[in-house]
Homo-oligomer: A and B are copies of this chain.
Amino acid sequence: MSADPALRREIPDATVARLPEYLRTLSRLAEDGVLSVSSEELAAEVGVRSAQLRKDLSHLGSYGVRGVGYDVETLALEISRALGLTEDWPVAIVGMGNLGHALASYSGFVTKGFRIVGLYDDDPALADEHVVGVPIRPLAELHVHHAVDPIAIGVIATPAPAAQAVCDALVGAGVSSILNFAPAVLSVPSGVDVRRVDLSTELQILAFHAQRKSLAAGDLRSAVVAQ
């Protein structure tokens, strides 16, 4: 029987969403030569409550020492393992406009775990351009490429109208994890995982809170008007 709780137990989604942040902070601490942290210290760095941090970590196993804290190296390694970053993940980006270029050259992509193996765009003007050493090819070549060098994660950085067709092509080639930057809801068969990142959604949420703040500030005025 495996003793690793990460492989046996279910890790809550909310916890998984925070693990990358813990990992990033631990890596920074390791670079700074810090050997050990308490949940209190680490939580303060990340901006969460220490109880939440401890409960999150408890889902991966018991890697702390009571009265002492957590060994930075060990904990970083265990989080990496839990997230699956000990193996590397071949990534393909479809849509090499401004955003696609930015993503391809984003250093966060290259860092541990992820490797860009394909860049796709049907615009002839981009044909055979290279970004970070990888050639841009037409989407039709996806199948061939995937057969030779399988793609684990597909990133969609096209305009919204093209997104569903690109998604279908990725799914058709066998990709079952997709990161979608296009402002469109994708329909996929079950078993395929889609995460969406939408810039304008984030802006709109900020606008909502900004509006609330300015309404609160102008309370007096509106109260008078309301009368």
Contact = CB atoms under 8 A, between A and B. Distances in A.
Given A47-B187, A111-B200, A193-B213, 13 more contacts: A20-B200, A25-B185, A83-B207, A84-B212, A91-B203, A99-B106, A106-B199, A177-B209, A178-B206, A179-B203, A193-B210, A195-B206, A197-B197
A208 to B, nearest CB: 5
Contacts of A39: none
A160 B216 CA distance: 33
Given A46-B185, A91-B203, A185-B45, A208 B82 contact: yes
This chain: copies in complex: 2
Top 8 nearest A-B pairs by Cβ distance?
A84-B211, A108-B200, A98-B102, A20-B201, A102-B102, A20-B204, A99-B102, A177-B210
Q: How large is the interface on A (under 10, 10 to 19, 20 to 34, 35 or more residues)?
A: 35 or more
Contacts of A47: 185, 187
A contacts with B: majority SS: helix
A207 B1 contact: no
Nearest to A204: B20
A149 interface: no
A92 to B, nearest CB: 12
